[in-house]
Amino acid sequence: MPRPAWIRTALPAGPEFEQVNRRLTSHGLATVCTHARCPNLADCWAVGTATFMLLGDTCTRACRFCSVATGNPQGKVDESEPERVAAAVAELGLRYVVLTSVDRDDLVDSGAGMFARAVLACRTYQTSPTGQTGQTRVEVLVPDFGGREDPIARVLSAVPDVFGHNVETVEGLSPKVRDSRASYRRSLEVLATAKRLAPGTTTKSGLMVGLGETDAEVEQTMKDLRSVGCGIITIGQYLQPARECLAVERYVEPLQFDRWREQALGLGFRAAYCGPMVRSSFHAEEVLAVAAS
């Protein structure tokens, strides 16, 4: 299916992009920007921002929308990763960091401990090359941790500024789009548990459209997310990242994204970021600022 005129992606380029790329490489860090082939890589890296992917670059699950490599890391964890992420944050002078990860069903805590350590490591940085000193705000975008409460509580113990977990798609398409170990209802439970354990924490979720869902199903998903206290929602166009991934079923027009944004705000979301090129961590600092206003 040919892409419409409103879908535009730029090739990564420019001195800021090169600086981010060089420093992330020097610290041996993975980013979701590259491994998930995010269409906003050029935009984000050009302004010196990135979303860090913890726990390696091999996922134990095989969702059909994602191009990240699938395998079994067999419990392998780099214990120095939180400190290396924090060092990169300091070097780049980042004020806002998003931490996500692959699924790690091979670990007892599904990787929750690494999230908590990374949040704490990133929270305060020393003087950066630009002369900045201060506190970095940290957002987490976590897997479902098998639906268990203890790992969720472990992440929340580090007090992230935003606790994010994506439903990814509407309920009817979840079995087709996501790995069989994931489920729509479990994702709602993860968000509900986070809100119950830490009522003051802002929760966030996102979904892709263009996979065969109806507009009514998207609206129902928004209602379901609000029912578990979700405060921020993102909705973006699915773009096939690799041939083996699901094909695009439709390209949603920009006006429909505008309608969803208005509907989301009407349902009580504190912030709604909806558009063809929107991804869950894109402009995350800006979205949180809107939610907090």
CATH number at residue 282: 3.20.20.70
Q: Domain span at residue 156?
A: 15-292
Mean pLDDT in each 10-residue stretch from start to end of the chain (293 residues)? 78 62 66 55 58 90 93 95 90 85 96 97 65 75 97 98 97 97 98 98 97 98 98 95 93 97 97 91 74 75
Sign of CA dihedral 137, 46, 93, 102: positive
Whole-model pTM over 0.75 = yes
β-strands 232-237, 202-209 pairing: parallel
Strand partners, 51: 98
pLDDT of residue 127: 43
pLDDT of residue 13: 58
8 domain-assigned? no
pLDDT of residue 202: 96
* Token pair for 166: 């994506």
143 domain-assigned? yes
56 domain-assigned? yes
The number of distinct structural domains making up the chain is 1
pLDDT of residue 162: 96
